[in-house]
Structure 1
Amino acid sequence: MTIPQDITRLQSEVNAAVREHWKAFLIEGILLVILGLAAIIVPPLASLAVTIFLGWMFLISGIAGLALTFWARQMPGFWWSLLSAALAIGAGLILLAMPVQGALTLTIVVGAYFLAEGVATIMYSLEHRRELSERWSWLLVAGIMDLLIAAIIITGLPGSALWAVGLLVGINLLFGGITLIGMALAARKG
């Protein structure tokens, strides 16, 4: 078989699987839309939920990393692995013990991310402009929007910690859910 035939076969198998399970995708999409709307309506609660979730993820991954580090202690990099596991456990415990302060820290990180992403996207758009690409203006607008979001989040600190993470997670869940619903309905018809 050639590569294009393999890709075509894989695409048809994926399409068949989506058609077969379209109801599961629809249910998941509806759930994501509900959770997204809830996060948008009550962003402080969503921000705390995300912070607590991340705290548990850090704690669990740190404990697992610690166990694996001691299990394979003869491997090179033992002390670095031990430090990494201890940092994950510490970050998890801090986020779980002080979720409000953790939400503030996450908000600062999100603001810094949007700032860096905005600058990088604007620079990327200017590179496209030099190549006479027709899409450079869309990239420029996206970069400016990232900078605007960063400015709103950073200048609104510490108050923006109440809503920023929860609102952004809510928007992400809402659009992810809408996408799944659209995919499910399209697969049902197909």
Structure 2
Amino acid sequence: MMDKLPSIATIVDAELKSFGKYSIFIAILLIIIGIGGLVAPIILSALTAGFIAGILVIAGFVWLVHSYKLNQHHLADWLKPLLLLTVGVIMIALPAAGIASIALLFILYFVLDAYRNFTQSQVYSTHGRGWFIFSGIIDVLIAILFIVTWPAGSLILVGIFVGVNLIFDGIILLMVRNSMLGSSK
């Protein structure tokens, strides 16, 4: 049993040791995959759809086992796992349809993000208002790009946007790691 709580410095040092262990490798891997997605966006689109489909199939199977072990008797108890499995299998069988579905989710995301940015611009009337409006306009333009090119453009756009996101995630991971190492000195 602990008599006293660890200090903040002890916690930060422990986090740095565990965080820094693989962060450079993961950051570089994210950047490389992201660049690969920009070079071959259709392949990254297919990998993204396959990854999501795999998660859906695994989740559906686990939920089926769970429902079976709980001895469920109502149809409603079996609908969720069957829906997860069905959507996952359809995405695997028809990858272009899965990619087009992901593009629809991107459209929804960008429209909602634009709405948030425009409403935030009213909340922050002086500081950063222009950036919120600018970001909202960019979100609307990206949503329109997805809508205008849907479904055929989804094959390329999903890969490009996932690739760009992975590149930025890798860069941010490197920056966070470097700032954490710099602050611990």
- Normalising to structure 1: TM-score of the pair? 0.82
1:44 aligns with 2:42: yes
1:165 aligns with 2:163: no
1:139 aligns with 2:132: yes
Give unpaired runs (5+ residues) of structure 1.
none
| Inter-partner Cα distance in structure 2 for 1:42 and 1:11 | 44
* Shift in Å, 1:23: 4.8
Aligned residues: 180
Q: Is the CA contact 1:65–1:81 (under 8 Å) kept in the aligned structure 2?
A: no
Q: What is residue 22 of structure 1 aligned with on the other side?
A: 20
Q: What is residue 68 of structure 2 aligned with on the other side?
A: 70
Q: What is residue 61 of structure 1 aligned with on the other side?
A: 59
* CA deviations over 1:13-48 (Å, ceiling 9, x no partner): 234432565352111111111111111211111001
* Shift in Å, 1:123: 2.5
1:82 aligns with 2:78: yes
* Shift in Å, 1:74: 5.7
1:155 aligns with 2:148: yes
The code of the aligned residue for 1:167 comes to I
Instruction: Name which of structure 1's ranges 89-98 and 135-144 shifts more when overlaid on structure 2.
Output: 135-144
Secondary structure of 1:163 counterpart: helix
Secondary structure of 2:146 counterpart: helix
Give unpaired runs (5+ residues) of structure 2.
none
* Shift in Å, 1:104: 1.2
* CA deviations over 1:73-118 (Å, ceiling 9, x no partner): 369xx54331111100000000011111211121122112212321
| Inter-partner Cα distance in structure 2 for 1:21 and 1:67 | 35
Q: Which one of the candidate residues 98, 104, 108 is aligned to 2:94?
A: 98
| Inter-partner Cα distance in structure 1 for 2:90 and 2:18 | 44
Q: Is the CA contact 1:19–1:187 (under 8 Å) kept in the aligned structure 2?
A: no
1:184 aligns with 2:180: no
Cα distance change on mapping 1:81 and 1:184 into 2, 3 Å: same
Percent of residue pairs bearing the same amino acid type:
25
| Inter-partner Cα distance in structure 1 for 2:72 and 2:102 | 36
Secondary structure of 2:150 counterpart: coil
**Pairwise CA RMSD of aligned residues?**
2.5
| Inter-partner Cα distance in structure 2 for 1:186 and 1:158 | 41
